[in-house]
Structure 1
């Protein structure tokens, strides 16, 4: 299983300063990946657009915030002496039809698109003499980017491979698609169809008595994006708790089996003891709705330095099963999971359900552990990756 968390090195949920971290992952080829890779940026939105290629430079020993400019040169914002400072360098890449840029090794990186406007970024203090980059915010309506039509894809290019994905972990906005040409073939993730955002917004407004309309975000009277419920915690406080209670009741008298999908760990068996779900030495308290949506708090908190390998294997599979609300119908996770049974409980992650229903091939990250699957040939996450890439094409489609 190839994880966006491992490759991107930071959580997109902050939508501000990326956290420095390792982006190295599994090899897909014996040869080292190239030092640079050509990106083709395509604008099918029907209107003017700019792109931005931004992330952390090279590897964790460098880790400077960096932009790739329209002429393929790199720009490293200087570290501000005090607070955040606007980046005044022209780092926008105009796209009229399509354009190509050469991208160096980067991690925790994004390709942004914005239509009929430009995006504003800030330089902030990073580690030592390094500058970090504050990205556009979709949760702060005082941010100048808030009402603009923008979206992004995520990628890491490291010594082992290119890894890129279409992420809906934070929100759905103007649709984009990915295509990776590499030695021996092509990988493609079409993403949402043009105009899908309005369809998703309408479906969520109708879900569960209208509760999910809180995820729809408008600017100037039009839908610009639909948010993951993780960014509406007050609106969904207590929402999944009745389902969690049912799960705890079920596994007080039945064994929950987690297949780690690792030969060195194997099968793990759990039961509810008191108020905790126990797998040997690993204990999990009841997660809240926010814990489940975000996959990174409460019992699902990520502590890479101290978590055991067993816990690292359990958390993604347990969090995925809670989001997909399959724990009441399948006690063998994720080994006997079937996509056609996902999100069928009346109390479920309707955001993830509706997003996947509108994806032509069903692939795209709707929550952080959407890459969990029953077998290696099954991909829900919408990623492309290869150790010998030639060209990555990222296409912006129309918002409506």
Structure 2
């Protein structure tokens, strides 16, 4: 199984921390390029996109304003402005041809293009939603992710970092029609902010407003770990107490691995294959990749299977009630605990098809797809609706 981080090839320069399991499809070789169709539904005549990723030979690649590939040279100093114009003016709509690239992002913004910089390497300095001194911080922008290789085109909408400018996806293939992901409807971000603020406590700290006072974006809780220190402690204590006297069964959903049975012993959740997990902190649950949920190099396939399913159940606060993960999960019971990942709950409540990553392992499922991904080995057109309208 591949993780989302390895599949997309995200570098340390990127701020996203999402991880998930995704199988490789055994299909015929993909075409050399696909068509990216950018559709402007943002209500602004000034919409821009920047496409960047890693070429098959390992070089940094962007598309220039005319749509042709550009491979930057390493600059002499950090934070060197990008020497080429790589802002695709979308207008009412724009189509460009995209070559093979991994760990790629399609950044979109309204009003003005985003600023990108180069560090020696070259390494691209991506826009920041956390650094208030970044020139892009107060701009209205978002992104979709994709990897396009010899096996398939994989693309997804992610709210793992934040919910901002709405995007929708569609993927038209040569043999199997068109698949769509609705994304957040236009005008969703302000209601998300209002509902989070109404939760009280520190949830309002996730809301970022623009210079005009309007809501720009709403951050995932894992970007404000200090605000939620101890938030899940009571729930985690109950989980650890329950499974000190009852088995927890985790289905890897991989026939080659099967299921793993564990119990809490001496403070550790220990599975029969020897994998063990300390009780996580709230920050570990929100991020899905720290503390006991870290997956260092050389980790077993079992650990790589168990971590996503534990982290998903804790974000959805279903682990206490369901000892058969994720097979016994009922999506109607996700986020029903008073203490839960309210960011993920509210984001999902606004999605017309309930699809879009609201935390890193949001693709863990007993059946329905919550991930907001489109995948095909014979891609023709990847559509991105900017300022997505309701499905």
Give the TM-score taking structure 2 as reference length. 0.94
Tell me which of 293, 299, 316 is aligned to 1:300: 293
How far apart in 1 are the matches of 2:75 and 2:54?
Answer: 17
Q: Is residue 12–residue 169 contact of structure 1 (8 Å, CA) maintained in 2?
A: no
Q: CA deviation at 1:118?
A: 1.2
SS in structure 1 of the partner of residue 95 of structure 2: strand
Closer, same or farther: CA 355–2 of 1 in aligned 2, 3 Å: farther
Q: Is residue 2–residue 21 contact of structure 2 (8 Å, CA) maintained in 1?
A: no
Partner of 1:291: 284
Closer, same or farther: CA 346–292 of 1 in aligned 2, 3 Å: same
Partner of 1:225: 217
Partner of 1:352: 344
Partner of 1:161: 152
How far apart in 2 are the matches of 1:13 and 1:167?
Answer: 17
C-alpha offsets along residues 288-329 of structure 1, whole Å, 9 cap, x if unaligned?
1111111111011122x3100110010000110010000111
Structure 2 unaligned regions, length at least 5: none
Q: CA deviation at 1:12?
A: 8.4
Task: List structure 1 runs of 4+ shifted beyond 6 angstroms.
Answer: none
How far apart in 1 are the matches of 2:39 and 2:334?
Answer: 33
Q: Is residue 50–residue 94 contact of structure 1 (8 Å, CA) maintained in 2?
A: yes
Q: CA deviation at 1:134?
A: 1.1
Q: Is residue 165–residue 387 contact of structure 2 (8 Å, CA) maintained in 1?
A: yes
The yes-or-no answer on 1:31 pairing with 2:22 is: no
Q: CA deviation at 1:274?
A: 0.9
Q: Is residue 166–residue 177 contact of structure 1 (8 Å, CA) maintained in 2?
A: yes
How far apart in 2 are the matches of 1:383 and 1:310?
Answer: 24
SS in structure 1 of the partner of residue 327 of structure 2: coil
CA RMSD of aligned residues (A): 2.2
Q: CA deviation at 1:192?
A: 0.5
| Alignment size in residue pairs | 385
C-alpha offsets along residues 54-86 of structure 1, whole Å, 9 cap, x if unaligned?
11112xxx2221111233211112112332311
C-alpha offsets along residues 19-49 of structure 1, whole Å, 9 cap, x if unaligned?
xxxx997444521111211100111111111
The yes-or-no answer on 1:367 pairing with 2:331 is: no
Partner of 1:271: 263
List aligned pairs for 1:1-400, cutoff 5 A. Answer: 4-10=4-10, 14-15=14-15, 26-28=23-25, 30-47=27-44, 48-58=46-56, 62-126=57-121, 131-182=122-173, 183-207=175-199, 209-220=200-211, 221-280=213-272, 281-303=274-296, 305-375=297-367, 378-397=368-387
SS in structure 2 of the partner of residue 292 of structure 1: helix
SS in structure 2 of the partner of residue 41 of structure 1: strand
